Amino acid sequence: MTSSVPFLLHVDEATSLVSIRAAPVRRKEEGGHQRCVALGQDMSEYLIYFNQPWVGEHTETWFKERGPLAKAVVHAMKAAGVYVFAGGLEEDPDAAFTADATRGTLRFTDGPYVRNPQFLGGFTVIDVADEQAARQWAGKLAEACGWPQEVRRFKPRPGGRTE
């Protein structure tokens, strides 16, 4: 898989050392909206996520080998300027609680709102130029983690993004 992330090559003339850094990917426009510097396009946020049952059964050694691979992808996202947030969730869905105000009074209950064998295991939010870039990052995460990743685009926010 190839990357469309732009990079800057810097040569320190005093020491002749060469460093490679990710080029700025986005800039804030009027109203807080983000634009891709490299492509001159509006940026879009995408949710990359997996359901816990998709992980499957693996040995502890297998999981330990995957951790550094996934962390490397997150570091690459940060270097490319597309990272917003990433995290894994507690694996026990019964540890969740629900806040519900649909009957006019706020109520909290222990456990998930609806019991379901498919439950969210973890997610990453990225801010990229287009769907192709979202596909590339999702593919890198799927390869690193060793299980499927699903991707959904966030609806554009009225008035642009705010920090």
Which burial class, exposed, middle or buried, applies to 80 when counting CB atoms under 10 A from its CB (0-12, 13-18, 19+)? Answer: buried
d(CA 153, CA 61): 34
- Average of pLDDT values for 3-14? 49
Say what the pLDDT of residue 93 is.
85
- Choice between 154 and 117, residue whose per-residue pLDDT is larger: 154
pTM: 0.69
Are 45 and 38 a contacting pair, CB within 8 Å? no
Instruction: Write down the domain spans for the chain.
Output: 7-153
pLDDT tens column, 23-52: 445 555 554 445 554 445 578 999 998 988
Would you say residue 88 has pLDDT above 60? yes
Instruction: Write out the two tokens for 84.
Output: 């917003």
Confidence of residue 91 (pLDDT cuts 50, 70, 90): confident
pLDDT score recorded for residue 41: 54
Per DSSP, 39 falls in state: T
Please tell me the predicted confidence (pLDDT) of residue 60.
93
User: Spelled out in words, what is the top-level CATH class assigned to the domain 7-153?
Assistant: alpha beta
Distance in angstroms (rounded) separating the CA atoms of residues 4 and 1? 10
Res 1: pLDDT? 42
**What value does the mean pLDDT take over residues 128-148?**
95
